[in-house]
Structure 1
C-alpha cells in the first residue's frame, strides 16, 4: 500500500500561516487481511454472513407479528414481559445490528487501506475537478472490492431491502383497512335511525315541534345515546351531535329532493364542521348562517347547509325529520352522507349539490 501526500503543500518552518508543523501521515501498518489472503477470505465470508442473516431476522419479525398473541406475557427475572413486543424488538434490533456490523467490518477489513491527505480547497469546483471527482469515485468503488467480491454488494443490498418488510408490516397497527363495508359500520354510521327521538343535549327532554320558535337553535342528540357508556358513548356522541333550527318556511330554500325532510321550517343538521370537525353553533338568525369558530367556515342553513365562506368544502349533512303521533321530532333515517371532515375513501357522489331544486 502507498501513502498519497503529493497534494500537500510543504510548510516552511516559521510560516505565520501555518504556525504548527505538518506532522504528515503516520507510518502505514499493513492489515492482516491484506497480508494473508486466507484471512481476507475469512473476513469476506463474515461480512456476507452478517448481511445474509438480516433476512432471517426480518422474516422472524413478520412471523412474530402475526403468530404471537399481543397479550401473551412471560415472567422472567422478576418482571412480566410482553412476549410479542420483546421478540419484535429483538428480531428488528438484531437485523439492524447485523447491517451495522457487516458494513463496519467490510469498511475496516476489506475496503482500501490507503491513507490520503489533501489541503482544503475552495468550495467552487472547476470542470477538471468535477471530472477528477468522478474518477476518484470510480476508483473508490473499485477499492471497495465490489467487482472482486460481488456477493458483498448483493447481500448488502438484500439486507437493506428486506428491512422494508417489517416496516411495512407494522403499518397494520395504524388500524384496519378502510373497506367500504367497514366504513359503513364505523365512519358512516351513527345512532340516528327511523323513529329515534330528537332530545335536548343538556336535559334529554324530547323536542316537540310546536314548542320550537322561529329563529331558535337547539343543540340535540338521539334519545338512544343514553344506552351507551364510556368510550363508546363519547365516540358516538361526537358523531350524532345535532343542531335543530326553526326558520320561516317562506325565507328558506328547500330542494325538491328534501321537501319532506323538514317540519314547518324546522330543520336538523350535523353539528360537526366538515372542515376539521369542530363543533359549531354560532347562529345568525337574520342571515340563517352558522359560523364555525375554529376557521370561520360559514354554512347557510336556509339553503341546505351549503358553504358560503371559509375553507370547508362540503355542506353540512342534513338529517331527515318528521314528527311522531305525539308531535315530537323523530328521525326518518340516519344521515344520508358521512358526518364530519372529509377522508380519502369517502364517496361524495350522493352529497347535496347546489341547484338541486
Structure 2
C-alpha cells in the first residue's frame, strides 16, 4: 500500500533522510552532461573587456589629454587668483563689507584650484590611464634584493600605464598646480599680524596701565572691590577700551578674568603679594596654548579650564598649568583699588599675553 508523505499544504514533509549531507553524503547536481560535485562550480571569469573611446580613437585620446592639463592649469590660475584677491581686496578695520569681499574672492580662487585638481585627476584616471584588469597577489613583505627589484619594476609599470612619463603636459601641469595650490594658504598667514608693526612688540603691551579701572565686559561699567563676592568671576576689560583705534584687537589682548578667593587660599610669591587685593586676583583670559578664551571657572577647586584643548590652571598658585598642552601660566594683571574703591591696574602685564610661541624677554 502506498503512503502519502506530503503535508496538508501539498508540500513534502521534512525528512532528514532526504538530505544527503545529514549522512555525510556528497551533494551532487544533475546537469545536461552528467552529475558534478557541488564544489566543482566553474569560475565564469571576468566579462570581456570593453575598450574606452580614448583607447579606440586617437583624436578623443588627445582631446581627453587636453582637458586634463587644461584643468590643472585652471588650478594654477585659481591659486594665483586667490593670492591676488588677498592683496586686491584687503580687510579694512571695522568694515564688514571688506571682510565679505575678501572671503568671497579668496574662497572662489581656492575652490577653483582644488576642484580643478580633483576633477582633472579623476578624468585622467578614467579616460587615459591603463585600463586593463589585473590581479594583485598577496605576498610576504620583505626587504631583499628581489623585492627591491620588483618595486622598481612596479614603478616602471605604473609609469607606463599612467602615461605620466610620456604625457609631459599633464605631468608638468599637475606638478605646477600642486606647487602653486598651497600659496593662498601661505599668503593668508601674513594677515595674522599688521604689515608695519612687530607682532612680538604688539603682544608685549596691552591697554592696561597704572590707574586704568577694571570694567565689566561688555558694558564697560567700572568694578568696585565690594562688588566682587567670594567665589564670583567677572569678565573684565579696560574702562577706556572704547577709545582704542582697533577695539576688537585691543580687547583680544587685554581681556581679563577677575576672581575672588579667600586670602589664605592664595599661594603667592613674595614679589607678587601686592598684585592681588584682599583675595581678588586678575589673570589674562587668553590661553597660553593657542590663544583660546579661558572662561570656565570651577569655584570649588579654583581651577580655570580652557574649553579648546582642556588646559587647566590653578588660580590659587599664580594660574600654574596643572593639566593640558599649555606651556606656561596665565599672565597675571597686578591690581589694587583707588580712592573711590574701584579696582584699578597697577601696571600692564609683565609678560606677553597669549600663546607661548611669542618671544619672551
TM-score by length of 2: 0.57
Secondary structure of the corresponding residue to residue 344 of structure 2: strand
1:240 aligned partner: 255
Q: Distance in 1 between matches of 2:248 and 2:234?
A: 17
Matched, 1:16 2:38: yes
Q: 1:222 to 1:88 in 2, by over 3 A?
A: closer
> How many angstroms does 1:134 deviate by?
5.8
Per the alignment, residue 336 of structure 1 pairs with 350
| RMSD of aligned Cα (Å) | 5.4
Q: Are 2:275 and 1:253 equivalent residues in the alignment?
A: no
Equivalent in the alignment of 2:128:
106
Instruction: Find the aligned partners of 1:290 and 1:268 in 2 and give their Cα distance.
Output: 13
Following superposition, the deviation at residue 243 of structure 1 comes to 1.5
Tell me, yes or no, if the aligned pair for 1:290 and 1:299 is still in contact at 8 Å.
yes
* Structure 2 match to 1:224: 239
1:159 aligned onto 2:181: no
Post-superposition offset of 1:252: 4.9
Cα separation, 1, equivalents of 2:218 and 2:50? 84
Structure 1 residue 314: Cα displacement: 2.5
How do 1:61-72 residues align onto structure 2 when only pairs under 5 Å count?
A: 61-68=78-85
Q: Residues 145 and 296 of structure 1: is their aligned pair in 2 closer, same or farther, counting only changes over 3 Å?
A: closer
Question: Contact (CA 8 Å) 1:196, 1:224: kept in 2 or not?
Answer: yes
Equivalent residue in structure 2 for 1:181, among 180, 198, 215: 198
**Which residue in 1 is equivalent to 2:212?**
196
Q: 1:20 to 1:324 in 2, by over 3 A?
A: same
Asked if the contact 1:48/1:151 (under 8 Å) is kept, the reply is no
Q: Is there any run of 5+ residues in structure 2 with no aligned partner, and where?
A: 1-33, 91-103
Name the CA distance, whole Å, in 2 between partners of 1:135 and 1:304: 61
Query: Aligned pair in 2 of structure 1 residues 28, 168: CA closer, same or farther (>3 Å)?
Result: closer
- The answer on whether the counterparts of 2:209 and 2:345 sit within 8 Å (CA) in structure 1 is yes
Give the conservation status (yes or no) of the 8 Å contact 1:53–1:95: no
What TM-score comes out, normalization by structure 1 length? Answer: 0.57
For residues 235 and 281 of structure 1, do their structure 2 counterparts lie closer, same or farther at Cα, with a shift above 3 Å needed?
farther
Question: 1:163/1:189 Cα in 2 relative to 1: closer, same or farther (>3 Å)?
Answer: farther
Residues 32, 56 of structure 1: alpha-carbon distance in 2 compared, 3 angstrom cutoff: closer
Deviation at 1:290? Answer: 2.1
Distance in 2 (CA, whole Å) between partners of 1:131 and 1:251 is 66
Question: Do the aligned partners of 1:193 and 1:333 also contact (CA within 8 Å) in 2?
Answer: yes
Secondary structure of the corresponding residue to residue 193 of structure 1 = coil
Give a deviation string over 1:211-262, Cα, whole Å, max 9, x none.
Answer: 5899675625235267389x96699379523325476589753333x45534
- Residue 323 of structure 2: which of 310, 335, 348 is its match? 310
1:291 paired to 2:303: yes
Match of 1:282 in 2: 298
Give the C-alpha shift of residue 161 in structure 1. 2.0
Q: Give the SS at the match of 1:330.
A: strand
